[in-house]
Amino acid sequence: MNQVKKQKKEMPLAFKIFIALVMAIACGMIFHNQAGFLEEYVRPFGDIFLNLIKFIVGPIVLFSIMAGVVSMRDIKKVGAIGGSTVLYYLCTTAFATAIGLGMAIISAPLFQQLSTKGVKYKAAKATPFMDTVVNIFPSNFLAPLLDGNMLQVIVMALILGFAIIMVGEKAAPAIKAIDIINEVSMKAMEMILKLSPIGVFCLLTPVVAREGAKIIGSLATVLLVAYVAYILHTVIVYSVSVGTLGKTSPVKFFKEMLPAILFAFSSASSVGTLPLNLECTSKLGVKKEVSSFVLPLGATINMDGTAIYQGVCVVFIASCYGIHLTPSQLITIVITATLASIGTAGVPGAGMVMLAMVLQSVGLPLDGIALVAGIDRIFDMGRTTVNITGDASCCVVVSNILKKKLETWGSEVEDETLEMEEC
């Protein structure tokens, strides 16, 4: 009884993270002149927390996807879930880019007040499309985990998962081992997540201290436009999709997602938020076999927030240089931003790299990236929040669309298990 009372009295993780956010903002503003000190002595503790998150993300992605694949016992099931997931991600990303462009075009006259004098930026050479395709497939078993290449880790998990399914009954020990390792990884994740409030405070305080003055400066407008677009996409697109296709109350959805949303906003890492996102979607009733496949995939290829960011920043940069974008260029931006967002890594700052690709696609000066580089972290916090919320909405939608099939598959698995036990 006493243990039950203690559990009830324990402060929710979402509230702890919120308190950490408030304290970080307050301390950052108070010690604005001590940004260097905070970077040197406070930020390292946040980096330790991020290192622990990065350490556990690889095993979670690898073994959760493998566990999700082998639990379905049928490649056709993987195809059904995977096809629905990719289609949903592509549609929402296209909507996100269109919303970002629309908001930016409406606000373009305000952007023209900014100056581009002295702007310099050396863009990295864009990777050829076919090289990007080739690099999705791993050439070494350990390299993807060491390098944090989540696309390669996903491909590894799918190949190994399919192989185990094809082996059949002989692979039963391997399936059991994968389930055990997956559970161990999840338990390690729970331990690390308890440090979230400390990590959030140590990561955010130096950012607020360093960027505080810039937020209220000349770039406040483009930040505002981006965040309005983030909110519109999240509230409208996800609420409609979750309510109509997912048959779930949008209010319930956002309430249960609050811990993950707050953590994503603080850490600016889609991949880092993955463990907490798995917990939140399970509370929404999403089956593990769906979330363990959809969320790791979404953390790598579903970047709605990044697509919005690219749309807003491209129009902003064009306006600063006095360049008028044609309808064909706008269509090119939508297509390129959608495809570029799929290849964006789920780590802080990755959207800046993809922005160069989008600018090149419509012939805009790459020097313009320097205009937003200084406040990219502020953009990143919002776009990451949109990204992980989109992943969760996809889980709810796919889970509902394939509800009957999942129930049928579940009964089939139970029958097979009983038959094996009888034997």
Q: What is the pLDDT of residue 341?
A: 57
Residue 301 has pLDDT above 60, yes or no: yes
Beta-carbon contacts of 227 under 8 Å, excluding residues fewer than 6 positions away, are 382
pLDDT of residue 1: 47
DSSP 367: G
Q: What is the pLDDT of residue 129?
A: 60
Q: What is the pLDDT of residue 215?
A: 47
Q: What is the dihedral of CA 305, 307, 313, 314, to 10 degrees?
A: -170
In whole angstroms, give the CA distance from residue 182 to residue 297. Answer: 16
- Go through the chain and tell me how many residues it has: 423
Within 10 angstroms of residue 398's Cβ, the number of other Cβ atoms is 27
pLDDT of 231 > 90? The answer is yes
Rg (CA), the chain: 22
Question: How far is Cα 137 from Cα 361, in angstroms, rounded to an integer?
Answer: 25
Check residue 327 and give its pLDDT.
80
As a whole number, mean pLDDT of residues 149-171 equals 83
Please provide the distance, in angstroms rounded to a whole number, between the alpha carbons at the two ends of the chain: 42
pTM: predicted TM-score of the whole model, two decimal places: 0.66
| Phi, psi torsion values for 113, nearest 5 degrees | -75, -15
Q: What is the rounded distance in angstroms from the CA atom of residue 15 to the CA atom of residue 196?
A: 11
- Which three-class secondary structure string do you get for 160-198? HHHHHHHHHHHHHHHHHHHHHHHHHHHHHHHHHHCCHHH
Residue-wise pLDDT for 176-209, tens only, equals 998 899 889 878 877 887 888 888 888 878 877 8
Residue pair 278/291 in contact (Cβ under 8 Å)? The answer is yes
Which segments of 115-273 does DSSP mark as H helices, in order? 129-134, 143-147, 150-167, 172-193, 196-215, 220-232, 239-240, 250-267
Question: What is the predicted pLDDT for the residue at 414?
Answer: 45
Could you tell me which residues come within 8 angstroms of residue 415 by beta carbon, excluding any fewer than 6 positions away? none
Q: Are 100 and 228 in contact (CB under 8 A)?
A: no
Query: Cβ–Cβ contacts within 10 Å for residue 32, how many?
Result: 15
Smallest Cα–Cα separation from 227: which of 383, 348, 107, 22? 383
160 residue type, one letter? L
Q: Tell me if 369 sits within 8 A of 359, measured CB to CB.
A: yes
